[in-house]
Structure 1
Amino acid sequence: MMANDPARPTLMTRMIAAYKGEVRADELEAYRRAGGLVYTELEHAEELRLRLAQEGVNLWHGPQAASGQLLCTWNAFVLQTIGEQLLDADYTADPRTAGYVPPVTSQQVAACFDQVEGWVSRARQAAGNTRYLVETELQLPADLPEWAEADPCPLPHLHGMLAAARAIRQHAEVAFGVFEQSIADTHDHQPDLQRLRQLVAEAATAADYAEGLLKGNPQPSLHEAIEQRLQRSLELYYHVGQLIAMPTHIATYQGTAARSATTYESLNVNARDFDAWCLTDPQRRDFWKADPKARQAIKEMWEYDPDPAATLRIQAQIDAAFRDGLIVYAVNAAGKSLGSYYCCPFPAIYEVRRPVVIGGKRLRPMQQFTYEASAEEMESGGAFKRELIVANFKPTNQIDYCDPDGLHGD
């Protein structure tokens, strides 16, 4: 039990948290509780791993769906562990603000927790359907979410990363031991095994070195060096667990920094003759066309846009990525489309399947995003907004027509 219940912060807790610039973690705690089901899936996956080993099943040649279950469960476990350890380390460092965390910690935990459900869902699908192959859906091995940035990184955040690396390392080394014992034709896979041993050693070394630097009370000037090593270790362990589950990927594995992303920077657009509704979600376009306020909002958005070609170019990149299968319409756990974003121009919400750069922003698999174009900030002297919004989207009944003249404001 924590000294302060995160759901019921005292006045003193709120004051101290405000002084420290920390933000509430209520929502993160809700996702932590929901993600607790990861540990049941992990038990099932470890039982499966042992059973396959006892049966002499070599994962180079074994059932692909079983490999998919192991891989997806591993990813969910790593993400849940990083999120939990970051929260707990911050609460432990200052129990007075338990339930509040620095913005960098909040951003990182949210980025991890946001992906847990998707991986658990895929693990269960693989367990229930021998024909379900996650490798046809996502580029593997998948990368961790993008790291949140802070200068310097808070010390409790670093301790949380180290605690996560320790817990993940323990499971990775056990999984690797079972994996090695299950390979009867070791000679045929010796180069790949050696590569995997190398990655395990590299991940462990980075974590050990970071732990050495963390002893005592390191100066802020050392925080970045510690952070980089812990990031490296966690990224490697994330990949190692996936490669153990699907060893056929080892031969082509090029490291954590070698993953290329498709770009569409050279696309040409026609800014003179285009459909004013081209930014709107195609799945819901007819619905928005029938709304008089939406029609007026779309008309005014283009009237205020100082550079329609720039706006259209980003949409063209989105369309190209969609056609090429790098992104798809985002769906909920039941497989139902999330629909359109609530702000004008009511764009679609997408999920990334392959690394891609859109509008100069690198997007990673499992991320959800949408594209907002708006003249609303111009009313207060701001610029026309063209922004990719990366988030974990949720249903809402709100509608924002983003009218620069305030005709439809709240």
Structure 2
Amino acid sequence: MTDVSGKPTLMVRMAAKLKGEVRADTLESFRRAGGVAYAEMERAEALRKRLADEGANLWHVEPGVSSQLLCSWNAFVLQSIGENLLDADYSADPRTVGYVPPVTHTQVTDCFNEVEPWSSRARQAAGNTALDISTTVRLPADLPEWAEAAPCPLPHLRGMLAATRAVRQHAEVALGVFEASVEDADEHARDLQRLRQLAAEGSTAADYAEGLLEADPDPNLHEAIEERLQRALEAFYHLGQLTAMPSLVARYDTGQVAAAPAQKGGAAPKLATPDSSAFDPWCLTSPLERTKWRKDPRAHQSIKELWEFDPDPAATLRIQDQIDAAESAGMITYAKNGSGTTLGSYFCCPWGAIYSVRRPVTINGRRLRAGQQFTYEVDADKVPKGGAFVRRLIVGTFAPTTDIEYCDPDGEHEF
């Protein structure tokens, strides 16, 4: 609701302030300007149809053609995500139209900021069939980093779901048209299988998230829904790029970590569960700081309670197994500050290591990008009160702190 000047009324501003929301004026300006992405997408779809009618195989077209399709796709996806996030928030509470939560503002800003460069590249490729965008931009491109919020607001999740639906429909149609145009399918059988696998990965994550969102889910489920929607959008974003420029498929790296090397006797090493005599209760703690924490009696009690309240230790250890495998493979390393000093452990029990990503890697279904920092949070504090046991990757920028948080499922956190 606005006054005659077009500015939000006092009631709207007060309601937004109470909800901790921020103005979206700039985002609305970028939304209007970003409409060019849809025009580029229409041109790309017309080009795709013409190529299909001519029986053209995208493995053998001029680089500018593939570049135009790819860049138009990226601009369309980014514009769609931004618009759906805004619209979902406005629909959820018409009293605060024009204002959005900080997490939504950050995410929409990051998406809209990339629409113009991709739209420009699409137009350049349309005017120059020799332009090969893969020589100047790392492809397939990743979506902007996901903004963090705990828990993620429900309207934000519904906006992500709406964007997923729109992007999925176009990606699956593009894949179908692409498959129909491949005459030398035997030669490209492995690549086609990889594309189908990626489509299945995205659709499964999307379907699962949609099922969880059919009713208003418990806030404890928000993170699980958010992770699946992120995974779906990332999969479809890559799928659209790979079908536009299939030469990328052969070197497409999902970042999935390989199994650990086999030991003598052939069994692949993995972390032992609490019912095994080989179990190490400190296996989640940073190897660089285990000696320190083992000397702390309160840390001993915290670690003990953490495992006692873990409803599925094997699930907890599977994620740590993936982290350990990625570290062994050199895909991640222990994070350091600007002076080269290792950051050490996270401040919460079980005091896991803080890592820096050296090259793209997927851990627990989450794709991490080179340069990101993350840690593995495991928390049992809410379990006695009916809350969920927490297993999640925290991505962010970490700094030293003197705070210490012990596991205390029966009471308040201790520092």
Is the CA contact 1:58–1:182 (under 8 Å) kept in the aligned structure 2? yes
**Which residue of 2 is the match for residue 300 of structure 1?**
none
CA distance in 2, matches of 1:232, 1:356: 17
Matches within 5 A, 1:324-363: 357=371
**Which residue of 2 is the match for residue 76 of structure 1?**
75
The 3 A distance-change label for structure 1 pair 135 and 172 is same
Deviations 1:305-364 (A, max 9, x none): xx9x949xxxxxxxxxxxxxxxxxxxxxxxxxxxxxxxxxxxxxxxxxxx753xx769xx
Is the CA contact 1:203–1:232 (under 8 Å) kept in the aligned structure 2? yes
CA distance in 2, matches of 1:94, 1:224: 22
Is the CA contact 1:235–1:256 (under 8 Å) kept in the aligned structure 2? no
Whether 1:94 and 2:88 are equivalent positions in the alignment is no
Matches within 5 A, 1:35-184: 35-184=34-183
**Which residue of 2 is the match for residue 207 of structure 1?**
206
Equivalent residue letter for 2:78: L
**Which residue of 2 is the match for residue 316 of structure 1?**
none
Equivalent residue letter for 1:234: L
The 3 A distance-change label for structure 1 pair 262 and 34 is farther
CA distance in 2, matches of 1:42, 1:32: 16
> Quick one: higher RCO (CA 8 Å, sep 6+), 1 or 2?
1
The 3 A distance-change label for structure 1 pair 72 and 12 is same
Is the CA contact 1:4–1:95 (under 8 Å) kept in the aligned structure 2? no
Equivalent residue letter for 2:96: T
75-84 or 171-180: which moved more?
Answer: 171-180
Whether 1:23 and 2:18 are equivalent positions in the alignment is no
Deviations 1:279-313 (A, max 9, x none): xxxxxxxxxxxxxxxxxxxxxxxxxxxx9x949xx
The 3 A distance-change label for structure 1 pair 256 and 217 is farther
SS across alignment from 1:32? helix
Matches within 5 A, 1:365-404: none
Deviation at 1:171, TM superposition (A): 0.7
The 3 A distance-change label for structure 1 pair 199 and 131 is same
SS across alignment from 1:172? helix
CA distance in 1, matches of 2:91, 2:62: 43
Equivalent residue letter for 2:138: Q
Deviations 1:156-200 (A, max 9, x none): 000000000000011111111111111111111111111111111
CA distance in 2, matches of 1:4, 1:261: 51
The 3 A distance-change label for structure 1 pair 261 and 57 is farther
Is the CA contact 2:62–2:130 (under 8 Å) kept in the aligned structure 1? no
The 3 A distance-change label for structure 1 pair 187 and 155 is same
Is the CA contact 1:69–1:123 (under 8 Å) kept in the aligned structure 2? yes
The 3 A distance-change label for structure 1 pair 256 and 161 is farther
CA distance in 2, matches of 1:240, 1:148: 22
CA distance in 1, matches of 2:6, 2:163: 24
SS across alignment from 1:124? helix
The 3 A distance-change label for structure 1 pair 262 and 214 is closer
Is the CA contact 2:81–2:163 (under 8 Å) kept in the aligned structure 1? yes
The 3 A distance-change label for structure 1 pair 184 and 143 is same
CA distance in 1, matches of 2:10, 2:255: 44
CA distance in 2, matches of 1:134, 1:261: 26
5+ unaligned residues in a row in structure 2: which ranges?
258-325, 341-368, 375-398, 400-415
Equivalent residue letter for 2:70: L
CA distance in 2, matches of 1:75, 1:257: 23
Deviations 1:57-101 (A, max 9, x none): 111111111000000000000000000000000000000000000
Matches within 5 A, 1:188-203: 188-203=187-202
Deviation at 1:254, TM superposition (A): 2.0
CA distance in 2, matches of 1:197, 1:111: 29
Equivalent residue letter for 2:203: A
Equivalent residue letter for 1:48: L
CA distance in 1, matches of 2:67, 2:240: 12
CA distance in 1, matches of 2:10, 2:67: 48
Deviation at 1:109, TM superposition (A): 0.2
Q: Percent identity?
A: 63
Deviations 1:27-63 (A, max 9, x none): 0000000000111111100011111111121111111
The 3 A distance-change label for structure 1 pair 82 and 58 is same
Deviation at 1:154, TM superposition (A): 0.1
**Which residue of 2 is the match for residue 278 of structure 1?**
none
Tell me the TM-score normalised to structure 2 length: 0.62
Deviation at 1:262, TM superposition (A): 11
Kindly report structure 1 stretches of 4+ aligned residues shifted beyond 4 Å: 3-7, 256-263
Is the CA contact 1:35–1:113 (under 8 Å) kept in the aligned structure 2? yes
**Which residue of 2 is the match for residue 33 of structure 1?**
32
Tell me the TM-score normalised to structure 1 length: 0.63
Is the CA contact 1:24–1:99 (under 8 Å) kept in the aligned structure 2? yes
Alignment coverage as a number of residue pairs: 277
CA distance in 1, matches of 2:246, 2:204: 22
CA distance in 2, matches of 1:7, 1:361: 42
**Which residue of 2 is the match for residue 223 of structure 1?**
222
CA distance in 1, matches of 2:373, 2:221: 29
SS across alignment from 1:184? coil
CA distance in 2, matches of 1:123, 1:261: 32
